[in-house]
Amino acid sequence: MNLADLKHFVERRWDEDLIPRLVDYVKVPAKSPAFDASWSAHGYLQAVVQEAYAWGAAQKIEGLTIEILSIEGRTPCIFFDVPATGTYGNAKTVLFYGHLDKQPEMAGWRDGFGPWTPMIEDGKLYGRGAADDGYAIYCALTVIAALDAQGAPRPRCVGIIETCEESGSPDLPAYLDLLAPRFGDVALVAGLDSGCGNYEQLWMTTSLRGLVGGTLTVEILGEGVHSGHASGIVPSSFRIARQLLNRIDDPATGRVLDPAFHTEIPRERLDQAQVAGQVLGDKVWTEFPWIACARGPGTDNEVLPQDLRQHVCEGIPTSQPVTRDPVEAILNRTWRPALAITGAGGLPSIESAGNVLRPKTTLKVSLRIPPTVDGERATRRLKELLEADPPYNARVTFDADWGATGWNAPATAPWLKLAADDASRAVFGRESAWTGSGGTIPFMNMLGDKFPRAQYLITGVLGPKSNAHGPNEFLHIPYVKQISAAVARVITSLPG
């Protein structure tokens, strides 16, 4: 393989063809079914699937077959299949994965920017979905085309691109079952829906946290009453909710209390966190948009350099669970549980909030759990903790929404470690880095169960400040080109 020629092919393809296509893709509000109950009638998911399919079908890749699959009542997906070349036979398969559905809009976009308003600035394509995960199908087929243009031997490659990942991939198992006879012996899964710790090397995702959550409702009255007349006699439903949440985590530190939500961290993951921590250093915590000020978490009032002041927040005492130790920070967000409240109901707007003791409070509860903690058991335990012995005999209900178990990659095969390091050095000039992800991608657990003997090349373009799911989400254009070249190097290292 001539790396210079490969990179030239990839860069030209992204500049001349793919970035303009992703610009058009950003414009389409192809929200995942969980955020668009009328997705079928709106037709946005079908539109982005049809566009990606039409582009793929037009690619001059010898032997490529590509089709849109649609099971009644389920979101559509794309499947492609390309036979092996050169000295490779078709006995082993590389499975590419991606998705085309998107998260909802989210408030807070910069002036002139928006979820469906593509903007290119400083080498970044802003807008919803390009990095998460619209680029994946274009990247996968470009990798194959680039290798074939050189005549470089490569294994058989298949791909599945779904459209309900942001809803937890409820339709994916049906398609995996449907396609099972066509996958062959999957030896490597190349998932392109993950992230990177920086834009300076190839990052390999080794684990994903699970996620349990639902709606906590606390009812104390049948209707709202005058707060002056009732307060001091009738407890606030919000205060009761606070007491219940204190059963889950320590309000002073954020540490989740119940052992059922914890697990022992494997030695390999501890070692990888040490290396990743050395690579990233303070970037682990300075990447976040802290309220602008001069001092950062855990700094004991030490004044930070001027260029960091915009990223950090003043006044967080060292007793808080905010650490400047990059290794501990990485482990906190990848192998330790954490509670968040992501929404609320029963609270009037500030403008319409009268002096009324509200009858109930409803909170959206989200609990990240370590990769190897069972999601269903964790859900049952969360419900038990929240509903048992309610204070003041309030009516407390916890309605679970999901119970997604995380994923922990199998032991890394020596060939994959060598291939990732070789590819990263060749493309970036630095060795690869390996770390867990704090997010939850249910499809990885599904793929892990389906292909237990496979190795996993899980990577992606969601790096610092790319802000997936949030405002000002972007695709780092130089990095997506480099990732394409690096993935091409790795898949040609699959043992025949």
pLDDT value for 145: 98
Q: What is the mean pLDDT of each run of 10 residues along the chain (496 residues)?
A: 93 98 98 97 98 97 98 97 95 97 96 97 98 98 97 97 95 96 96 96 96 96 96 96 97 93 96 96 83 47 44 42 82 96 94 94 97 96 98 97 91 96 97 94 88 96 95 98 97 93
pLDDT at res. 252: 86
Residue-level pLDDT at 319: 39
> What does each C-alpha distance from 220 to 215, 226, 242, 264 come to in angstroms?
16, 14, 14, 40
Q: From CA 127, how far away is CA 230, in angstroms rounded?
A: 48
Prediction pTM value: 0.88
Q: How far is residue 291's CA from residue 50's CA, in Å, rounded to a whole number?
A: 42
Residue type, 12: R
Burial of 346 (0-12, 13-18, 19+ CB in 10 A): middle
The residue among 95, 455, 379, 62 whose CA lies nearest residue 212 is 379
Helix, strand, or coil here: 208? Answer: strand
Structure tokens at 96: 């590419």
Q: What is the C-alpha to C-alpha distance for residues 448 and 458, in angstroms, rounded to an integer? A: 12
**Which residue has 């059963």 as its token pair?**
247
> Cα–Cα distance between 49 and 389 in angstroms, integer?
50
Per-position b or e across 384-393, b if 16+ CB within 10 A of its CB: ebbeeebeee
Choose among 147, 348, 126, 337: nearest CA to 248: 337
Domains belonging to the chain, first-starting first, are: 3-208+407-491 (3.40.630.10), 210-256+337-405 (3.30.70.360), 264-324 (no CATH)
